[in-house]
Structure formats: structure tokens, C-alpha cells
């Protein structure tokens, strides 16, 4: 967003990937802080071999937002499946890793759990 705003006002915008800037950060006592980051950015931007990231338009950012949200939901689903499998294994119920098979086989297994575990 800000890169587009600055560009509209006539500024030259250069975006750098953090992974490409980090080699220029001085290691040692200084560690990672704002001053060290600023010095690394100043050093990196002067290098002729430095690669810059293009500024994304709104459509590209919206698409990226959609992909990141979807990826987050997939990771949450996988985490939930793994948590369920782990908790059930404490009661001797071993379920497959496959999400489809897990959904099919979990119903009857829940009925065999004791008390509160059934409600979790």
C-alpha cells in the first residue's frame, strides 16, 4: 500500500526482500535492532548486485491475501487433525493420517472414550 502511495507522489520506491538484506547486517555484539537493520539496508541498497522486489498492485495483493488465508486454514485444519490423533492415541485409539479416512473412522472411536474425553 505505502509503496504505491509514495510512487504516486513521485518518489522512487525500491523494495528489498529481508532475506537479501540480512547478510549485510553486522553480526556480533550489535545483534538485531533498528539501528543494525537501517545500516544493513543502507549497505545493501548501494550494492549493484542487489535485487529489488516489484511493487504489487491491488489485484496482486488481494490474490496474495486470498492464498495466505487459504494456506492458514489448511494449516489450522492439519493442526486440528494432528491434535485429535494425538489425544485419541493417549486412550489407545490409533487413527490414520489421511484426513478422509480420519473423518470416516473417528465417529465410532469417540463412543468408546471415557466421560469427559468424549465431549472434548
What is the rounded distance in angstroms from the CA atom of residue 117 to the CA atom of residue 120? 5
Per-residue pLDDT of 70-95, as tens digits, reads: 999 999 999 999 998 998 899 888 98
Q: What percent of the chain has pLDDT over 90?
A: 44
3 state SS of 43:
helix
pLDDT at site 28: 61
Name 15's bridge partners.
53
Give the pLDDT mean for 6-35: 84
Amino acid at each position: 500500500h505505502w509503496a504505491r502511495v509514495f510512487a504516486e507522489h513521485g518518489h522512487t520506491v525500491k523494495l528489498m526482500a529481508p532475506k537479501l538484506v540480512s547478510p549485510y547486517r553486522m553480526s556480533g555484539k550489535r545483534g538485531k535492532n533498528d539501528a543494525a537493520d537501517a545500516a544493513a539496508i543502507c549497505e545493501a541498497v548501494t550494492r549493484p548486485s542487489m535485487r529489488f522486489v516489484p511493487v504489487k498492485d491491488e489485484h496482486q495483493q488481494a490474490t496474495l491475501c486470498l492464498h495466505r488465508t487459504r494456506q492458514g486454514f489448511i494449516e489450522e485444519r492439519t493442526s486440528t487433525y494432528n491434535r485429535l490423533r494425538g489425544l485419541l492415541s493417549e486412550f489407545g485409539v490409533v487413527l490414520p493420517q489421511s484426513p478422509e479416512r480420519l473423518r470416516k473412522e473417528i465417529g465410532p472411536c469417540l463412543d468408546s472414550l471415557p466421560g469427559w474425553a468424549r465431549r472434548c
